[in-house]
Structure 1
Amino acid sequence: MKSCLVVDDSKVIRKVARHILEGLDFAVAEAADGREALDHCVATPPDVILLDWNMPVMSGMEFLRALRETALAPLPKVVFCTTENGSAHIRAAIDAGADEYVMKPFDRETLESKLQIVGVV
């Protein structure tokens, strides 16, 4: 079973993502900020991370940069999931190491297609 870490400071978004991902046969873990997510990844690396941009403690971009500096191999796939839709934000996320990008709000079909693109579905 593939694993996904949902990283978002919104409990509602984490719950919606969990419901969709469990329907796609993922084992799901959750983190409310980037620091919590980084600790989880070091202890139990997931196959894929659904990552929010704007969070307290450690933002999605700060988390992504820190994750890319770890010794994890292979690195989890990262799908940014955010309301930030400007091309500059998308380019910055991809340049920082994100594998894909999905806009909020998202549905099962959209999320599943992004997970297929990164090769985990």
Structure 2
Amino acid sequence: MQRLMIVDGSDIVRKVGKRILSELGFLVVEAENSREAIMRCQAELPDLIIVDSTMEGALDVISAVRAMPTGKTARIFYCVIEADLKKMMAGKRAGADDFLLKPFDRKILTSVFSGFAAAA
């Protein structure tokens, strides 16, 4: 079972995402801020990470994960509210692999993540 972390300041976003992604077969952990996310990743690095771009320290989370000994293996999704090229490029420079548009729903999460769940 692949581990997936949702890093978002919103309880609702984390809970909805966790419910949908758990149904797809992921072991989902949550972090409500960048500090908690980095600590959890240091303890046990997830296979996939969704990081909310509006959260303070979002780019720090991505950079910190990439600096970890096995940090290059984690797949990081930078979650943006709109297709803001400047914000997306900053995420890419920090080490994000891909992007998710917010708000996401069951259809979006299923289409993006079902392939990863099946590969586990």
Aligned residue in 2 for 1:6? 6
Higher relative contact order (CA 8 A, sep 6+): 2
Listed as ranges, the matches of 1:34-53 within 5 Å are 34-53=34-53
Q: Is contact 1:48-1:76 (8 Å) kept?
A: yes
How far off is 1:41 after superposition? 0.8
Deviation beyond 3 Å, 4+ runs, structure 1: none
Aligned residue in 2 for 1:101? 99
For residues 45-100 of structure 1, the C-alpha deviation after alignment (integer angstroms, 9 at most, x for no partner) is 111011111224xx211111111111125531111123153111112212221111
Q: Unmatched 5+ residue regions in structure 1? A: none
Instruction: Pick which of 10-19 and 93-102 moved more.
Output: 93-102
For residues 12-65 of structure 1, the C-alpha deviation after alignment (integer angstroms, 9 at most, x for no partner) is 100110011011011111101111111111111111011111224xx2111111
Give the partner amino acid of 1:10: S
- The reply to whether residue 63 of structure 1 matches residue 24 of structure 2 is no
Identity percentage of aligned residues: 35
Q: Unmatched 5+ residue regions in structure 2? A: none
TM-score norm. by structure 2 comes to 0.87
Give the partner amino acid of 1:91: M
Between the aligned partners of 2:68 and 2:82, the Cα distance in structure 1 is: 26
TM-score norm. by structure 1 comes to 0.86
Whichever structure has more helix as a proportion of its residues is: 2
Between the aligned partners of 2:53 and 2:110, the Cα distance in structure 1 is: 20
Between the aligned partners of 2:18 and 2:90, the Cα distance in structure 1 is: 26
Give the partner amino acid of 1:103: L
How many residues are paired up?
Answer: 117
Aligned residue in 2 for 1:120? 116
Q: Is contact 1:80-1:98 (8 Å) kept?
A: yes
